[in-house]
Amino acid sequence: MPGAEPIDLPGGPVGVLLSHGFTGTTQSMRPWAEHLAAAGITVVAPRLPGHGTSLKDMNTTTFSDWYATVEQAFDDLRSRCATVFAMGLSMGGTLVLRLAEERGDQVAGIVVVNASLATERKDAKLLPLLSKVLPSFPGVANDIKKPGVTELAYPKIALKAAYSLQQAWPVVKRDLSRITCPVLVYRSETDHVVEPVSGRELLKGCVHAEERVLYDSYHVATLDNDAPTIFDGSLEFVRTHAPAAAG
């Protein structure tokens, strides 16, 4: 899809990895990436496997594939930058949480926006069965309050891929206590995709995380009314925890 290309914006010795969400693309990360890059930060945002091409492609990929891409981008940044942060939207937040669990003090800090970790939807219990008999369901894209803004994402959910994400949640939740780096959590008060239970689970498992509530955005907050709040807050977070980015 035009606009779904990977992002690589060279800058200084501090790097930020950005990860887009489930069914989405790097289009939801580009304004954030450009804001950080304008401050002299090196920014990369990979296109996750199966995203930005076709729904059929997505149904052949799993959480392990997406995580491997995030890890590869992180290692690439570490080869170029002295200090590296990781940030993500929705499932992208889930992926960078896992990165912080696995890579310890290699991660200088993480920022997540409406990270997904759980669901209370009753039909989610049917996903193991449905994923075997149906290719897709109606989608979750474009949950944006701001008029005239459209998210570049699939209109449907690839069910096999969705089941893989569902299977990853308990693993990520279990290991939240392993995260030692600073954690900044943005959560939209009104989110029609990720339920409040995800935020509760995150704060319960990662007790040193700081939560900030977004009152004027829906799920895709990086393209919504509160985007400047996220961008400025994440830049302040980087400058606080990486003196080299203070300029």
CB 23 within 8 A of CB 153: yes
Task: Give the distance, in angstroms, between the CA of residue 224 and the centroid of all CA atoms in the same chain.
Answer: 15
What is the DSSP code (8-state) at residue 8?
E
pLDDT tens track for 167-180: 999 999 999 999 99
Mark whether 191 is an active-site residue. Answer: yes
Q: What is the pLDDT of residue 127?
A: 53
Give the residue-averaged pLDDT of 89-105: 97
Residues 6+ apart with CB under 8 A from 192: 140, 143, 218, 219
Q: What are the boundaries of each domain within the chain?
A: 7-245
Q: What is the pLDDT of residue 24?
A: 93
Mark whether 219 is an active-site residue. Answer: yes
Greater confidence (123 vs 209) lies with 209
Residue 58 pLDDT level (bands cut at 50, 70, 90): confident
Give the residue-averaged pLDDT of 213-224: 97
Residue 154 pLDDT level (bands cut at 50, 70, 90): confident
List the single range of 146-150, 195-199, 218-222, 239-243 with lowest mean pLDDT: 239-243
CB 52 within 8 A of CB 153: no
Residues 6+ apart with CB under 8 A from 73: 17, 44, 45, 46
Give the residue-averaged pLDDT of 183-204: 95
Catalytic residue among 143, 191, 224, 226: 191
pLDDT value at 163 more than 90: no
The three state secondary structure string of 18-34 is EECCCCCCHHHCHHHHH
Q: What's the rounded Cα separation, in Å, for the pair 110 and 83?
A: 12
Residue 157 pLDDT level (bands cut at 50, 70, 90): confident
Give the residue-averaged pLDDT of 82-101: 97
User: Angle of helix 91-103 relative to helix 63-80, nearest 10 degrees?
Assistant: 60
pLDDT value at 206 more than 80: yes
Q: What's the rounded Cα separation, in Å, for the pair 142 and 62?
A: 22
Q: What is the pLDDT of residue 140?
A: 66
Residue percentage of the chain with pLDDT more than 90: 77
pLDDT tens track for 117-128: 998 766 656 555
Catalytic residue among 90, 131, 136, 188: 90
Q: What is the pLDDT of residue 2?
A: 84
Q: What's the rounded Cα separation, in Å, for the pair 50 and 180?
A: 31
3-class DSSP state for residue 157? strand
Q: What is the pLDDT of residue 122?
A: 61
Q: What's the rounded Cα separation, in Å, for the pair 223 and 204?
A: 28
- Which value, in Å, is the radius of gyration of the alpha carbons in the chain? 17
Identify any residues that bridge with 184 across adjacent strands, giving them in sequence order.
Answer: 111, 210
- Mean pLDDT, the chain, whole residue set: 91
Catalytic residue among 19, 28, 219, 226: 219
CATH architecture, domain 7-245: 3-Layer(aba) Sandwich (3.40)
